[in-house]
Homo-oligomer: A and B are copies of this chain.
Amino acid sequence: MNDILKYLEGELPRINAFLEAEANKLDGVVQPAVKHVLGAGGKRLRPLLALLTAHALETEADLYPLACSLELLHSATLLHDDILDDAELRRGQEAAHLTFGKGSTILAGDVLLALANRLVADYGIPRLTSVLSEAIMLTATGEVKEIANVRNVDLSRDDYMDIITGKTAYLFQAAAECGAILSGKGPEMEQAAHAYGLNLGIAFQLVDDALDYVSPSDVMGKPSGGDLREGKMTLPLITYLATLDEKERTELLDQLVADSFTDEDIQRITGEVVDGGHAEATRDAAKHYADKARKALDAFPDTQEKSIMDSILDFVISRAK
């Protein structure tokens, strides 16, 4: 962990300074919503991933436009997601659409999507734009699938994996892959970076879905059991449902479909999911993808950054928030 923290300490101020400078160049009318989402903290995982991959491959180009474009893309999806989730909180503060209105928030997201594309276009390497655009298409598609499957009690584990790969992992994959593209080290390294980012992203989302059942609200900045409340069919719930007998299962699914859980129901089911080991089992599934990501790292030359990329896998698996 220490090596991650040290790297973060060096890079976070530069990432944040670049983001702030870009936000300040925008028209005053869109700055408030943009600064609201960019200024709310967040782990800056995607920019770090781009920086680490590029550094690990000894890239000489200025990396901050690329790294920050990934945070801009991620922030754009957060602005849009919060509207469709009707979220009240984001990163522990009031969601942008409640402060600035739906319209301005949707459009501020569009501005960030476009700004990210423009920053990346300035490298003069069209493949960067292709990879990022493809990732955004897949991310939005994954999110539509997630919406379409809310309260779909027949959602399979495979379909669930498809959804989380879409909504989360492709942007991680694009971050690492673009870092490798910038390095100019060739298709083999791009492929390794692709596999590292994709599997890291899947592991990250699996742990996120496990934490939704175990974290008290003050740690996550949003109420625990939120996914269950919203009818999101995530892995802890899917594996828990498989352990119920026919009668219990039907009762619970009827309530889920009818959106009729009381607060006590949520607390009871969340408790049963955790006590039954389903959150832990989801974390174990995450370890499987972290191992795949680690294997992809083998192709990288031995550098300090490679070892940080390895530490990040441990962090993602073990994190408590």
Contacts and interface: CB of A to CB of B under 8 A. Distances in A.
Contacts of A118: 129-130, 133-134, 137
A163 to B, nearest CB: 10
A26 interface: yes
Given A30-B141, A80-B106, A114 B126 contact: no
A114 B133 contact: yes
Dominant SS among interface residues on chain A:
helix
B141 A129 contact: no
Interface stretch (A143-151, A274-282, A310-318): A143-151
Contact of A103 (B83, B115, B121, B136): B83
Interface string A138-181: 00110111011000000000000000000000000000000000
Nearest to A33: B144
Contact of A102 (B84, B108, B110, B148): B84
Interface range, A side: 35 or more
A146 to B, nearest CB: 9
Contacts of A132: 117
A135 to B, nearest CB: 8
A272 interface: no
A125 interface: yes
A203 to B, nearest CB: 23
Contacts of A83: 102-103, 106
A113 B113 contact: yes
A104 interface: yes
